[in-house]
């Protein structure tokens, strides 16, 4: 399977008649505002604290010409903090029937761990043999705005 694209958005829906996908509110940056005490709580652990926010990581995969029949592949998504620590890892196995050329995968999250402001990277990797090869890196900038 070949990775085509990955997008981070707030929500996605698939039209049941056309099978087309709609992506809503593409996310590149999240501004978190609040009292300094609340923002400090989000930075209190190097393992990260959960920030509640709807996120959907949607990917499109395509069958390569040489791939025939039903196929199964494994991919994973890792979330890397600005300090280069892994805050999340999610593995999935996907099966594609012979009659289909493409498939979409969707990882929905009601929250994600953060360690403070900075650039986070969602790394999408496909298993090749015993190892995983990164096929997309999706940045997410988190910024804090203090309220008095």
pLDDT at 148: 64
Contact between 10 and 24 (Cβ < 8 Å)? yes
Q: Comparing C-alpha atoms, which of 148, 115, 116 is closest to residue 35?
A: 148
Q: Comparing C-alpha atoms, which of 63, 110, 112 is closest to residue 86?
A: 112
pLDDT at 101: 93
Q: Comparing C-alpha atoms, which of 142, 141, 140, 144 is closest to residue 57?
A: 140
For 16, the 3-state DSSP assignment is coil
pLDDT at 103: 94
Please state, for a pLDDT cut of 70, what percent of the chain lies above it.
95
pLDDT digit string, tens, across residues 42-53: 676 667 778 888
Q: What totals of helices (H) and strands (E) does the chain contain, helices first?
A: 1, 9
Domains in the chain with CATH codes: 2-142 (2.60.40.10)
pLDDT digit string, tens, across residues 64-113: 988 899 999 999 999 999 999 999 999 999 999 999 999 999 999 998 88
What pTM does this model have?
0.89
């Amino acid at each position: 399977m070949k990775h085509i694209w990955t997008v981070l958005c707030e929500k996605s829906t698939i039209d049941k008649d056309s099978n087309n996908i709609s992506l809503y509110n593409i996310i590149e940056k999240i501004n978190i505002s609040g009292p300094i005490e609340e923002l400090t709580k989000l930075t209190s652990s190097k393992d990260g604290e959960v920030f509640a926010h709807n996120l959907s990581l949607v990917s499109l995969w395509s069958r390569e010409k040489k791939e025939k029949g039903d196929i199964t592949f494994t991919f994973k998504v890792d979330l890397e903090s600005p300090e280069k620590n892994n805050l999340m890892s999610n593995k999935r196995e996907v099966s594609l029937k012979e009659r289909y050329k493409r498939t979409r995968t969707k990882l929905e999250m009601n929250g994600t761990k953060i360690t403070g402001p900075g650039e986070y990277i969602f790394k999408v990797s496909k298993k090749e043999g015993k190892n995983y090869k990164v096929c997309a890196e999706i940045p997410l900038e988190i910024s804090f705005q203090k309220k008095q």
